[in-house]
Amino acid sequence: MPATDRFPTNPHVAATTAPPVMEARRWLQGVDFPDNRPLLNLSQAAPLDPPPEPLREAMAEMIRAEPDTHRYGPVLGLPALRSEIAWRSSARYGGEIHAEEVAVTAGCNQAFCTAIMTLAAPGDAVLLPFPWYFNHKMWLDMSGIETIPLPCGEGMLPDPDAARARLTPRTRAIVLVTPNNPTGAEYPPALIAAFAELARSHGATLVLDETYRDFASAEARPHDLFADPDWRDHLIQLYSFSKSFRLTGHRTGTLVASAKRLAEAEKILDTMTICAPQLGQKAALWGLRNLSDWLAAERLEILRRRDAARTALSALPGWKVLGCGAYFAYVEHPHPLPSHELAPLLVRDLSLLMLPGTMFAPSGDPAAPRQLRIAFANVSVEGLRTLGERLATLGAVAA
């Protein structure tokens, strides 16, 4: 028997798709970008700029003068950060959240993975609207958990009635991301409430990922779910400081759930990472206390870029903007090439890196080959105008 045949593999991991962003980066290999047409990287949502200078200075002092920055901390996070998140979230959502109902994780992906591990076992099912955030789907696949796909409709919004028809006795959770990755759609409070009630009535849990909440267009309360005194029975909320304070490399996310559920999460987190990085946690706490005005300005800049992206894309003949908000535009293109073939061509011929819709949908979905995700948060308003100008030439290139 060849040695490769004896290589042990987890079949669930082996069947999981490769990381899409890493695949897209490989399209850059061997491509020369002319000086008059530099690469516009629209593939990833992670901020490329470092944290603001005042935060970097504070972090340097944390490294230099605070020895506990370099040690293990409590598994569920620094008490001061958990308390800060709890009272700020209580005020923001008009509910009651206690410090012991907040966990700090090594990024929001870990928060999601941990939440799912407390909810579901191999053979269980989770309902996931699509276009979906591919890492959510990948984790369910690796865990042996069935994904129940729910196609989004007009405005890239999922339908609670359509979701109800897909639930099974094995469905343990419903996942929503708002503002959405990959579509940019912002879910109205009434829609979120409808899904929360659907989860409750089914004996399932709503896992609500609000990573991009700081860049929503509306200043009103995103939802009232925490005002329900029984929220702990059917709600888990996820969040990330990667976007708000540009702490991508410092891996700091949050998981809000009942204290009972976090006791289960503590087992998982202690085994995975022991604790989230201390520097990222301290930086998040400093940011919460000192960067409100800076974050408000960041939000306005992202909204300017959203408007510029929508304007540029809407002007293209045959293109349709399906969703646009937070860091993303999700579009339908008019060209004959399917998106998984078109996207590498855009790198080579137009110096544009974006992700095809096929990375965000079930295999065989008929709409995905006509769709692209454009992550515009790292591109200036002028750069987004350039995006429109380059795409306007796509017909001639594709031909």
In this prediction, residue 5 carries a pLDDT of: 63
User: Could you tell me which of 384, 336, 23, 21 has the C-alpha nearest to residue 182?
Assistant: 21
In this prediction, residue 396 carries a pLDDT of: 53
State pLDDT tens for residues 295-331: 999 999 999 999 999 999 999 999 999 999 999 999 9
In this prediction, residue 340 carries a pLDDT of: 96
State pLDDT tens for residues 87-125: 999 999 999 999 999 999 999 999 999 999 999 999 999
Provide mean pLDDT across the span 212-234: 95
State pLDDT tens for residues 258-268: 999 999 999 99
Provide mean pLDDT across the span 360-376: 97
**Looking at the predicted structure, is the pLDDT value of residue 363 above 80?**
yes
Is 187 exposed, middle or buried (CB count within 10 Å of its CB: 0-12, 13-18, 19+)? Answer: buried
In this prediction, residue 4 carries a pLDDT of: 55
State pLDDT tens for residues 24-40: 999 999 999 999 999 99
**Looking at the predicted structure, is the pLDDT value of residue 3 above 80?**
no
Q: Where are the domains of the chain?
A: 3-50+294-398, 53-290
Provide mean pLDDT across the span 151-173: 97
Provide mean pLDDT across the span 241-246: 96
Topology adopted by domain 53-290? Aspartate Aminotransferase; domain 2 (3.40.640)
In this prediction, residue 1 carries a pLDDT of: 41
Annotate 11-47 with b (16+ C-beta within 10 A) or e (fewer). Answer: eeeeebeeebbebbeebbeeeeeeeeeeebbbbbbbb
Note the pTM of the prediction, 2 decimals.
Answer: 0.94
What are the tokens at 249? 């490399």
CA–CA distance, 292 with 220 (Å, rounded to integer): 16
Residue range 3-50+294-398, CATH number = 3.90.1150.10
Provide mean pLDDT across the span 39-43: 95
- The proportion of the chain whose per-residue pLDDT surpasses 70, expressed as a percent, equals 97
CA–CA distance, 254 with 252 (Å, rounded to integer): 7
DSSP string, 311-360: HHHHTSTT-EEEEEETTEEEEE--SSS-HHHHHHHHHHHH-EE-EEGGGG
